[in-house]
């Protein structure tokens, strides 16, 4: 199979088999029988020493998560022509996209982006009154996908505020101290799909990068 050279990583960045030993990522159990002070201390240590952690028993319904995964699989299983009916463009960054580049090399993946709430309205820049309006694009042939995605996003926002409260407490602040900075927040959510790759030794689903935050 002929593969576009845009996908080929430089030799020094190509994937290769290797094993990396290390400590396990901190696991935070929100239903742990531990008292609240101990839970807060655990999160504080994870943030200080790792910068991230895994959350279990977080309260997001497994049924809802299953429905979300099902819609994701159904969407990406469609033909390219069908998926491109909701392609994002220069005006609207929500919807389907399959030509993302990292470090000037094309990623072996395709994505579907949406925002919550919808429409999402926010200033174009911090010092202007001009507003940007983002409207989600939903596939017409997958009824229920919009409702499931938006419900999932709202449940994740609840979880995010719960974690923000615990992190604030770990810093010696009141639990709601940072909430005011997120009262008008907008969630940008992405579904990623990494198709089977015929050249796994030359391409990557996503190249080396740093996330902003």
Q: What is the pLDDT of residues 22-81, one digit of tens each?
A: 678 999 999 988 889 999 999 999 999 999 999 999 999 999 999 999 999 999 999 999
Distance, in Å, from the CA atom of 110 to the CA atom of 78, rounded to the nearest integer, reads 12
Same domain for 42 and 67?
no
Q: Please, are residues 205 and 194 in contact by the beta-carbon 8 Å criterion?
A: yes
Longest Cα separation, the chain: 58
- State which H helix or E strand residue 188 sits in: strand 187-193
> Structure tokens of 102?
């990292």
Decide if 163 is inside a domain: yes
Q: Are 199 and 190 in contact (CB under 8 A)?
A: no
d(CA 177, CA 171) in angstroms, rounded, equals: 10
pLDDT value at residue 140: 96
> Dihedrals φ, ψ of 186, to 5°?
-120, 135
Residue 17 lies in a domain: no
Structural domain span for residue 96: 60-213
Confidence of residue 1 (pLDDT cuts 50, 70, 90): low
More confident residue, 75 or 2: 75
Angle at which helices 145-170 and 62-76 pack, to 10 degrees? 130
In a domain, 123, yes or no: yes
How many independent structural domains does the chain possess?
A: 2
Token digits for 176? 């709601």
Banded model confidence at residue 213, pLDDT cuts 50, 70, 90: low
Q: How far apart are CA 117 and CA 101, in angstroms?
A: 27
Give me the pLDDT at residue 184, please: 85
Is residue 75 located within the same domain as residue 165?
yes
φ/ψ of 85, rounded to 5, equals -65, -20
Region 116-125: mean pLDDT is 90
Query: Which residues lie closer than 8 Å to 33 by C-beta, 6 or more apart?
Result: none
**Contact status, residue 207 vs residue 102, Cβ threshold 8 Å:** yes
More reliable by pLDDT, 3 or 8: 8
Is position 113 within any domain? Answer: yes
> For the chain, give me the number of helices (H) and strands (E)?
4, 9
The verdict on 179 and 124 lying in the same domain is yes
With beta carbons less than 8 A apart as the criterion, state whether 143 and 67 touch: no
* pTM higher than the cut 0.85: yes
Binned at pLDDT 50, 70 and 90, residue 17 comes out as: confident
- Residues paired with residue 31 on neighbouring β-strands, in sequence order: none
State the CATH number of the domain containing residue 163.
Answer: 2.60.120.330
Q: Using 50, 70 and 90 to split pLDDT, how confident is the model at 141? A: very high
Q: What is the C-alpha to C-alpha distance for residues 86 and 144, in angstroms, rounded to an integer?
A: 16
């Amino acid at each position: 199979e002929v593969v576009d050279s845009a996908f080929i990583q430089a030799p020094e960045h190509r994937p290769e088999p290797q094993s990396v030993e290390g400590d396990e990522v901190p696991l935070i159990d929100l239903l742990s029988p531990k008292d609240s002070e101990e839970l807060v201390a655990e999160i504080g240590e994870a943030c200080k020493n790792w910068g991230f952690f895994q959350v279990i028993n977080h309260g997001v319904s497994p049924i809802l998560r299953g429905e979300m995964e099902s819609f994701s699989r159904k969407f990406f299983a469609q033909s390219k022509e069908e998926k491109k009916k909701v392609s994002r463009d220069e005006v609207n960054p929500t919807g389907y996209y399959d030509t993302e580049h990292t470090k000037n090399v094309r990623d072996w993946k395709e994505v579907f982006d949406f925002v919550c709430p919808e429409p999402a309205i926010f200033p174009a820049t911090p010092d202007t009154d001009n507003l940007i309006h983002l409207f989600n694009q939903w596939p017409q042939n997958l009824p229920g996908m919009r409702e499931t995605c938006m419900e999932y996003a709202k449940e994740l926002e609840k979880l995010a505020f719960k974690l923000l409260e615990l992190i604030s407490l770990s810093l010696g602040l009141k639990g709601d101290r940072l909430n005011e900075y997120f009262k008008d927040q907008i969630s940008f959510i992405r579904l990623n799909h990494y198709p089977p790759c015929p050249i796994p030794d030359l391409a990557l689903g996503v190249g080396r990068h740093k996330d902003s935050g």
